Structure 1
Amino acid sequence: MRYSDDLVEEIRMKNDIVDVISGYVKLTRRGSSYFGLCPFHNEKSPSFSVSPGKQMYYCFGCGAGGNVFTFLMEYENFTFVEALKFLADRAGVELPQMEYSKEAKEQADLKNTLLEINKQAAKFYYYQLHTERGKQGYDYLKGRGLSDDTIRKFGLGYSDKYGSLLYRFLKEKGYDDEILRQSGLFLADEVHGMQDKFWNRVIYPIMDANSRVIGFGGRVMGDGKPKYLNSPETKIFDKSRNLYGLHLARSSRRKNLIICEGYMDVISMHQAGFNNAVASLGTALTSLQAGLMKRYTDEVLVIYDSDEAGVKAALRAIPMLKGVGLTTRVVNLRPYKDPDEFIQHEGCEAFEKRLEEAENSVLYEIRMKERDFDLADPQGKSDFLHEAVRRLVAIEDEIERNSYLEAVAGKYGIAVEVLRKQVGQMALSGAGRTERVKPRNTAANKKEKEGGVEKAQKLMLTWMTSYPALIGKLEKYITPEDFTTPLYRQIAEMIVLQYHEGGVNPAKLLNQFVDSEEQKEVAGLFNARIPLETEEEKRRALHDVICNMKENSIAYQSAHMNVTDMAALQKLMADKKSLERWKAGELPDFAF
């Protein structure tokens, strides 16, 4: 059994794509579409577009695109059925009981088995910590000031120096080597066989927001390398989509979340009563993690180490947090390096005070720029203020920008009107804008530079979905057969069929494509850039595209036709005569 197309479409229509994506990305209306920072790659200038008319999204930077189902499948790592169930529940639509396909059932069973293996491993590590074998790990945790209650709360454990204890334990539970290999808990060696990945380490179980163990981190005992080791990515663990400690912090009654760097930072803050702390998992904060926090709060306090690396990490994190609509402030821990050290030396009350005094993130970014200039030197101060202006230009909201103008002017002793004038001049010149660097290894970058023919066909498909009323007039001049790229021809046929059945619906059309890369490509066909403003410019461009497509179609048909097919030959000759007339200006005055 599969869900009917009518039911799928009903659920899609009841979940407006702008409303759904607004829960993950901060969107700003610009014309007929909404724009925000793309959640699928890091960027500073919004290139992520959401069209309420087409009920689709598309990123002009990385090529990600699709409908509301696609978005959830990409962002949440959902299967189509999981996305459908999520949206059905959101819209209050009751789904019929469904029998899973063999493949879907196998994938679900695999994930459940991996979750059970991780759960068993977490219990094993916790038990080992409290045996004689685990004394070294237990003493380490107690030496860091952790109570037994905190150790239990976070499920901390220990993996012995001998590298096969967990393997033998799980084999006794009946798991075969192939599934254990997929768990990420073991290393396969042709000489020694399966060996525990984590050994001689204190173990930190990593849980998802629903308190399921999805991976592990391990801190080596002694001077071994690497100091910290994390689970590799598996079917159930993606470090870019999860946060350490979120399963506890999500239920905190505090008004914000605290993002910090490491496991011990989170644990020590929770033990001290600051149970709203989370950490990224051994990597720089990602936009997906920022979006995850946005589900539970509107404000994030950034507490990274106070060394140079921590400052750089904070400066990278701030635009991601603000990009999803989070109010962001930065906590100053100096003279201490991290939250654990601060709390141990100064106590909880002093730490609470530092949280209350957290600095506005924009002012923090500007203050960090001071380090690059000599403010005692007139030229140095002038250069610094120009850098501050560059940051202020990037603030789109006028009221917000004016507030920062006044704050910066007051702090650095410059007339606010002078600063405002500089911001205006830089904005007009475009000097404050950052060039967007397209991410590597995207579908868009894998292609060779598009030729004029392909561009013309993409532009035509965009026009057909943006201005469906044109289709009736266009059919006299361009048909799906004139789209010489197979996928484009297939899409054109589907659009024309929709038009004659009562209405063009590109988001519904996307439901016919299940492969994610194919969906991205199709979404791109409906979002070709049309940098044309006036009706006359659009009409001239449409005239050129029609002629371009027909000329290419004639060349294609000539190269592939059967020379004995007289009917096809006559049609080709008629098309050539029509093209000559169109080039001479015979085409009608299309209205957009």
Structure 2
Amino acid sequence: MRYSDDIIEEVRSKNDIVDVVSQYVRLTKKGNSYFGLCPFHNEKTPSFSVTPGKQMYYCFGCGAGGNVFNFIMEYENYTFGEALKYLADRAGVELPKIEYSREVRQKAQEKAELLEINKQAAQYFYYQLRTEKGQTGLDYLKNRGLSEETMRKFGLGYSDRAGGGLYRYLKAKGYPDDRLRESGLFNVDERHGMYDKFWNRVIFPIMDVNNRVIGFGGRVMGDAKPKYLNSPETKIFDKSRNLYGLNIARTTRKKYLILCEGYMDVISMHQAGFTNAVASLGTALTSGHASLLKRYTQEVLLLYDSDEAGIRAALRGIPILREAGVNSRVVSLKPYKDPDEFIRNMGPEAFEQRLEEARDSFLFRVEVAENEFSMNDPQGQNQFFERCAQMLLELKDELERNLYIDAVVKIYRGRYGISSEDLRKRVNTLALKGTPAEHRTQPKSGSPEKKKKESASDTSQKLMLTWLVTYPKIFDKVAQYLTPEDFVVPLYREVAQMLFQQREEGEINPARLLNSFPDSEEQREVASLFNATIHLETQQEQDQAFADTLLRIKQESLAEKNRNWDPSDLQGLQKLVKAKKELEDLGRKRRELHISFE
């Protein structure tokens, strides 16, 4: 549901960010801002600032930042729509009803009917578990150690052996066959007509993050195949973009989520108090899963079965999470196979200890790779360190790569005499050759890359944007020399264009500007543009910093135009010559570039 910009701005402006954040964070006023401990990462010294003048927050420690919508979304794990409704209710703003086209209304109606069918089915299965016919399923769940409270919390149910009860139940409620077929709850053939897909199974309702039932999983009672059966994909159920248990785990205050294999793993862990556990829905981890996890956490603990298949699953998941910008560690459950078995034998405290001892995911990959080679002979050792170098080359950040080189050497120096210099040379040799690893780890379009070191040009552009929103009175002076086109970073140029437009309209409003960036990563970066810092005490320091910043932006702008100039464009050449002369004149007049940040 998309509301007008005016409505969104009305809700934002009626929720003072200091008042809202103060409900969650203890703030202390310092100068023109308020400071407190960041709620989005662990810290002992306050680096989390809230600025009433900008109506924005920013953490100088972890980089979290934005307006009041962003804060509620990040703290409460809300979507934008959920945050808008929450803040509208808080401020007493009535959100208008939006008129949709006939096609859109029809699609929405179809989805609503499918959701209602699934809800009715979940209630039916839940009831069946508690009847005489469901005794087999109830005994199974109790034997697995599940309490009545846990079964109720996850809405567990049962489908009886007859296999036609759900169809008759829903038909009696008036649902047509076409819609029931679309629900994925039934099979159809010429001999039997339409009949229940799930029968003689314990049922696990699958819910989305808004607690709506979107599908089901079923565990067969007995030895029939398949052991586990899931709903097929429908208009409301996409296996690659939903995680079992996330509707509960998303509200956890733990700093990480635990990713395990199956329904019972999640349920047994939640019952033991580990309410941050989730599982993929019968599929391998996908980029869609990783993006979903990124919305709720910065770190994932991989907790797969300790057999060969579980190890392979962990190895597949690590690079997918890394590409999405999610850190990962790997939990060892040995000598037990899965978390349910571990907790039943060792208890929650021992399990908590294993979580704390989770293995760094890169070093886990190294450890697994070691088992693939014959480490008793030089050839095997050489092949192993070649593999290590390939994996190290996947790390694009030089500091991170050097830290892992030292970590690998620390583990293997005593046994094989490997040194940091030896391994670094091997990595550099592979880099010069252009190994397949380099191509394999190139980020896909739209995937976040590791942040590169900020250039002096980027810093200058960010400083200027910060000054423009913090000291709007300098805008007239700046506009004599700069236009939005002088900001060469595309995102910075877009923000500058918005600020110049706001200036024409008579109000500089960075918090409103943020509403135009729905992507969370962009929101963070835009928030950082308005919080660049430089320590200036005297008027002379202010003037020098302003002149240096202005000249650097103009120099980079000219260099960018020169790089993009078409040699056949004579008119463009004349403009370049003119721009170069103006820059030289500006450099000679730098002492006249006075500014006041009062």
Asked if Structure 1 and Structure 2 have the same fold, meaning a TM-score greater than 0.5 normalized by the shorter chain, the answer is yes
Aligned equivalents of 2:271, 2:372: Cα separation in 1: 38
Q: Are the aligned partners of 1:129 and 1:138 in contact in 2 as well (CA < 8 Å)?
A: yes
Q: Which residue of 2 aligns with 1:404?
A: 404
Alignment match of 1:418 (pick from 412, 415, 422): 422
| Distance of aligned partners of 1:434 and 1:344 in 2 relative to their CA distance in 1, 3 Å threshold | same
Secondary structure of 2:371's match?
Answer: helix
Alignment of 1:263-282 (within 5 A): 263-282=263-282
Once the two structures are overlaid, the 10-residue window that deviates more, 310-319 or 398-407, is: 398-407
TM-score (norm 2): 0.60
Amino acid in structure 1 at the alignment position of 2:383: D
Q: Which residue of 2 aligns with 1:141?
A: 141
Aligned equivalents of 2:574, 2:340: Cα separation in 1: 68
Q: Are the aligned partners of 1:393 and 1:432 in contact in 2 as well (CA < 8 Å)?
A: no
Using the TM superposition, give the Cα deviation of residue 104 of structure 1 relative to its aligned residue in structure 2, in angstroms.
1.2
TM-score (norm 1): 0.60
Amino acid in structure 2 at the alignment position of 1:263: Y
Amino acid in structure 2 at the alignment position of 1:210: N
Using the TM superposition, give the Cα deviation of residue 428 of structure 1 relative to its aligned residue in structure 2, in angstroms.
2.6
Residue 348, structure 1, aligned to residue 348, structure 2: yes
Residue 326, structure 1, aligned to residue 326, structure 2: yes
Aligned equivalents of 2:574, 2:284: Cα separation in 1: 51
Amino acid in structure 1 at the alignment position of 2:344: Q
Alignment of 1:252-267 (within 5 A): 252-267=252-267
Root mean square deviation, CA, Å? 3.7
Alignment of 1:207-356 (within 5 A): 207-356=207-356
Using the TM superposition, give the Cα deviation of residue 238 of structure 1 relative to its aligned residue in structure 2, in angstroms.
0.7
**Identical-pair percentage:** 59
Aligned equivalents of 1:84, 1:251: Cα separation in 2: 16
Secondary structure of 1:202's match?
Answer: strand
Q: Are the aligned partners of 2:202 and 2:219 in contact in 1 as well (CA < 8 Å)?
A: yes
Alignment of 1:98-497 (within 5 A): 98-413=98-413, 414-431=418-435, 433-436=437-440
Using the TM superposition, give the Cα deviation of residue 535 of structure 1 relative to its aligned residue in structure 2, in angstroms.
8.6
Q: Which has the higher contact order (CA 8 A, sep 6+)?
A: 1
Using the TM superposition, give the Cα deviation of residue 202 of structure 1 relative to its aligned residue in structure 2, in angstroms.
0.6
Once the two structures are overlaid, the 10-residue window that deviates more, 410-419 or 273-282, is: 410-419
Alignment of 1:529-540 (within 5 A): none
| Distance of aligned partners of 1:539 and 1:259 in 2 relative to their CA distance in 1, 3 Å threshold | same
Please give the per-residue CA displacement for 1:543-588, whole angstroms capped at 9, x wherever unaligned.
Answer: 6xxxxxxxxxxxxxxxxxxxxxxxxxxxxxxxxxxxxxxxxx9998
**Unmatched 5+ stretches in structure 1:** 12-82, 440-467, 470-532, 544-584
Amino acid in structure 2 at the alignment position of 1:165: G
| Distance of aligned partners of 1:153 and 1:88 in 2 relative to their CA distance in 1, 3 Å threshold | closer
Q: Are the aligned partners of 2:565 and 2:572 in contact in 1 as well (CA < 8 Å)?
A: no
Q: Are the aligned partners of 1:260 and 1:304 in contact in 2 as well (CA < 8 Å)?
A: yes
Q: Are the aligned partners of 1:8 and 1:84 in contact in 2 as well (CA < 8 Å)?
A: no
Using the TM superposition, give the Cα deviation of residue 117 of structure 1 relative to its aligned residue in structure 2, in angstroms.
1.0
Aligned equivalents of 2:363, 2:210: Cα separation in 1: 36
Q: Are the aligned partners of 2:184 and 2:231 in contact in 1 as well (CA < 8 Å)?
A: yes
Amino acid in structure 2 at the alignment position of 1:435: H
Using the TM superposition, give the Cα deviation of residue 212 of structure 1 relative to its aligned residue in structure 2, in angstroms.
0.9
Using the TM superposition, give the Cα deviation of residue 388 of structure 1 relative to its aligned residue in structure 2, in angstroms.
0.4
Using the TM superposition, give the Cα deviation of residue 254 of structure 1 relative to its aligned residue in structure 2, in angstroms.
2.0
Please give the per-residue CA displacement for 1:217-258, whole angstroms capped at 9, x wherever unaligned.
Answer: 001111211111101111111111110011111122322110
Using the TM superposition, give the Cα deviation of residue 435 of structure 1 relative to its aligned residue in structure 2, in angstroms.
3.4
Secondary structure of 1:187's match?
Answer: strand
Please give the per-residue CA displacement for 1:156-203, whole angstroms capped at 9, x wherever unaligned.
Answer: 110011121001111111111111111111112222221001011110
Using the TM superposition, give the Cα deviation of residue 422 of structure 1 relative to its aligned residue in structure 2, in angstroms.
2.1
Aligned equivalents of 1:84, 1:254: Cα separation in 2: 22
Please give the per-residue CA displacement for 1:277-328, whole angstroms capped at 9, x wherever unaligned.
Answer: 0000000011111111122211110001111111111011001112222221
Secondary structure of 2:363's match?
Answer: helix
Amino acid in structure 1 at the alignment position of 2:239: K
| Distance of aligned partners of 1:356 and 1:87 in 2 relative to their CA distance in 1, 3 Å threshold | closer
| Distance of aligned partners of 1:291 and 1:588 in 2 relative to their CA distance in 1, 3 Å threshold | closer
Amino acid in structure 2 at the alignment position of 1:281: L
| Distance of aligned partners of 1:588 and 1:130 in 2 relative to their CA distance in 1, 3 Å threshold | closer
Please give the per-residue CA displacement for 1:461-487, whole angstroms capped at 9, x wherever unaligned.
Answer: xxxxxxx99xxxxxxxxxxxxxxxxxx
Using the TM superposition, give the Cα deviation of residue 110 of structure 1 relative to its aligned residue in structure 2, in angstroms.
1.4
Using the TM superposition, give the Cα deviation of residue 419 of structure 1 relative to its aligned residue in structure 2, in angstroms.
1.6
Amino acid in structure 2 at the alignment position of 1:429: K
| Distance of aligned partners of 1:402 and 1:89 in 2 relative to their CA distance in 1, 3 Å threshold | farther
Using the TM superposition, give the Cα deviation of residue 8 of structure 1 relative to its aligned residue in structure 2, in angstroms.
12
Aligned equivalents of 2:188, 2:224: Cα separation in 1: 21
Q: Which residue of 2 aligns with 1:488?
A: none
Aligned equivalents of 2:9, 2:575: Cα separation in 1: 32
